Structure 1
C-alpha cells in the first residue's frame, strides 16, 4: 500500500482534489448508511442538504489529498491568526491545538511544525497492522511526533506541554468508554473526550482552536486560528461541553468542509486502555 500512496503523492494537488470530489459523490450515492448519517448530522446542526452539499465532494478530497500530505512535496499554506501562536510562544506557554473533523486537519500540524517547531499530535492506531504502520510512520516527520491514544502517548503530550511545546488533537473523535463523558454537541449528547481539558489544567497550557481550510482548485490551504473563549471549567462534564461548543463555532465557520458523515453520536467502544 505504501508504494501506491507514494505514487499518488506525485500527482498535482488540483488533480487529486478533482478525483477526490468524484470519490466523495460516489460514496454518497452508493452508501445508504453514509448518506443517512451525513444528512442526519447536518439536520441536527440546523442545515439542509443544499447548504452543505459541497461537503460531499470535500470529504472525498480529504481522502485523495492524504498521499500528497504524507509523502509528497509541501503544499502552499497561508496563515490567518499566526500572531496568536507567536504571542503564546513569547510567554513560554505550551499550546493545545483543538481541531475538529473539519477541512484538512492533517495540514494544521504540518504547518505548525514547518513554521514554529516541535508539535506532538495524538492519533488513534488503526486496527489493521499494515495500516497502523503506514499511518504511524507517515505522520512522524521533522518537528512533528505522532503518538498513539495510550497512556504512554498522553505522557509524551504532557512532557511536551511542560517544556513549552505544542500538541494537537481532534476533540470531536469518540473516545473509548471510560475516557470521556456525555456532553451536548449541536443539541444532542455525544460522547466526548476529557483529555483536552486535563492537558490544559495539568500543565497551564493555552487552548487554541485551529482548522485548515482547503482552497478551491488545489491552490493550497489556509490555517485559521481562533482563541479559546472564557475560563475552562474544573468539572469534566462542563469542560467537555465547553470544548464541544468551541468545535461547533469552528464547524459553523466552515460547514461546507465538515465531515458530516463522521459517526459523531455513536456509542463508545469498550476497550481496556493501555
Structure 2
C-alpha cells in the first residue's frame, strides 16, 4: 500500500512567518525521518566541531576511567546523535498536532506527585530529552509551571525556544538574569518549579563536592529553595527511546534538604550519577562540567 502524504496542517494559531508555516508542515512527517535527520545533524557536529568533541571525550574520560576507550568513543558519538535528534524533534514537539506529544512521549512513574497541585520543586538534569519531558508535562498536567531559562544570543533562536517551551499551560520562564528571588516567589504561590542545577556555573553560590570522583563546583540553589519554601524535591528525567521519549517521575527525596549545603549537594550529585549511568550517551557532556577548580588546582581540560 502506498504511503500516505502528510496533509497540510490545520492552523489553530497565527502564522508568524514562512518558517513557522514550514515547521508546521514538517511536523507531520514520520518520526523515523526526524530521527534520521537528527542523527545526520549530530554526526556532522561530531565530525566538524572538534573543540566540542574534545570536551565530550575529556568528560567521559574523567567520569568513566574504567570504561574501555572504544566504549567511551561510542558514548561520545551517541552524545552528538542524541543532541541532534532532540534538537530536530523540537519541530514536532512545538509545531505538531498535540496528539503527537501524547503518542510519542510516554509519561511514567510517580506522576501523581505533580498532579496534586501543591508547590513542588523538580530536579531536572540536563539529559537531551528534557524539552520533550517538559512539553509532555505542561501539556498533560494543567497547573502553574515555572522554570529557569538561559536567554539565547540569537534573537530568532531565543524566540523559537521561548515560544516552544511556553506552548502549553502558559508557564513562567525566569531568565537567569533575574536571579533566584522570583523562583522562591513562584514556589510560595504554589508553582511546580523545574530547576536544572547540574551545570558548572562558577564558584559563586557553589560548593565543591564529588561528581564521578571529581571535585565539581555545584550550585546549592536546589536545597536552599526547597528549605526556604518548605517544599519536596521530586526528580524527573526523560530519555530518547525508539518510539519517541519516556518521562520518568521519581519519588520525592526523603530527608532532603538536610540543612547542610555540602551534604545536600553531595547527595544531589550522587543521585545524578545513578541517573547518568543508565544512559551515559544522553547526558549533556558538551559542557565543561569541571571547568571551575578549587584554589590551586590545575585545569582538567586540554588547551
TM-score under structure 2 length normalisation: 0.76
For 2:115 and 2:107, the matched residues in 1 are separated by 16
Among 51, 54, 57, the alignment partner of 1:36 is 54
State the partner residue of 2:5: none
Contact 1:182 1:191 in 2 (8 A): yes
For 1:172 and 1:149, the matched residues in 2 are separated by 15
Contact 1:78 1:223 in 2 (8 A): yes
Higher relative contact order (CA 8 A, sep 6+): 1
Distance 1:136 1:197, change over 3 A: same
Give yes or no for the alignment of 1:220 onto 2:220.
no
Distance 1:44 1:176, change over 3 A: closer
Among 63, 87, 108, the alignment partner of 1:80 is 108
Per-residue CA deviation, residues 23-64 of structure 1 (Å, 9 max, x unaligned), is: 111211222222222122122221444262433321211222
Distance 1:230 1:256, change over 3 A: farther
Gaps of 5+ in 1: 269-274
For 1:103 and 1:131, the matched residues in 2 are separated by 17
**Rg comparison, structure with higher value:** 2
State the partner residue of 2:291: 266
TM-score under structure 1 length normalisation: 0.83
Give yes or no for the alignment of 1:18 onto 2:69.
no
State the partner residue of 1:146: 173
Distance 1:132 1:39, change over 3 A: same
Aligned residues: 262
Once the 2 structures are TM-superposed, how far is the Cα of residue 14 of structure 1 from its aligned partner? 2.4
Q: Bigger shift: 197-206 or 93-102?
A: 93-102
Gaps of 5+ in 2: 1-15, 294-303
Among 250, 255, 279, the alignment partner of 1:254 is 279
